[in-house]
Amino acid sequence: MYSVDWAVRKKFQIYNVEKDELTNISPTRDAFDKFFSNLSDKGSFYIEEGGGDTFKLLALKHKHQVFTISGKKVKEHREKLGLLENDENSAKVIGILVIEQPQEFYEYQELDATHLKIAICYKEYCKIVKDSTCKKNQLYALENRLELLTSKKEVKKIISARKETIKALNKEVSSMNSQLLRLVKKSPLWINYLKDIKGVGPVTAAGIIGSVRRFSRFPNKYSIRHFAGMITKKDNSSYNRYLKSALYNFIEGIIKRRTQPWRELYDKMKVYYKEKHLDWKPGKVNAYAKKAVQTKFLDWVWNKGVQIEN
Summarize pLDDT for 171-222 with one digit per residue, the tens.
988 998 999 999 999 999 999 999 999 999 999 999 999 999 999 999 999 9
Q: From CA 17, how far away is CA 23, in angstroms rounded?
A: 11
CB 41 within 8 A of CB 2: no
CA distances from 125 to 104, 131, 293 (A): 33, 10, 26
Report the side by side order of strands in the sheet with 12-16.
21-25, 12-16, 2-5, 44-48, 65-69, 106-107
**Residue 9: predicted pLDDT:** 73
Q: From CA 75, how far away is CA 90, in angstroms rounded?
A: 8
**Residue 180: predicted pLDDT:** 93
Instruction: For residue range 17-74, list pLDDT tens digits in order.
Output: 999 999 999 999 999 999 999 998 889 999 998 889 999 999 999 999 999 999 999 9
**Residue 144: predicted pLDDT:** 80
Q: From CA 239, how far away is CA 233, in angstroms rounded?
A: 11
Look at residues 288, 287, 293, 299 and name the one whose alpha carbon lies nearest to residue 222: 299
Half-sphere exposure of 126 (CA within 13 A, CB side): 19
Task: Label residue 237 by pLDDT band (50, 70, 90).
Answer: low
Look at residues 42, 43, 3 and name the one whose alpha carbon lies nearest to residue 23: 3
Query: At residue 19, what are phi and psi to the nearest 5 degrees?
Result: -95, -5
CB 54 within 8 A of CB 12: no
- pTM attached to this predicted model: 0.86
**Residue 146: predicted pLDDT:** 81
Chain-centre distance for alpha carbon 221: 18
CB 206 within 8 A of CB 184: yes
pLDDT surpassing 70 at residue 235: no
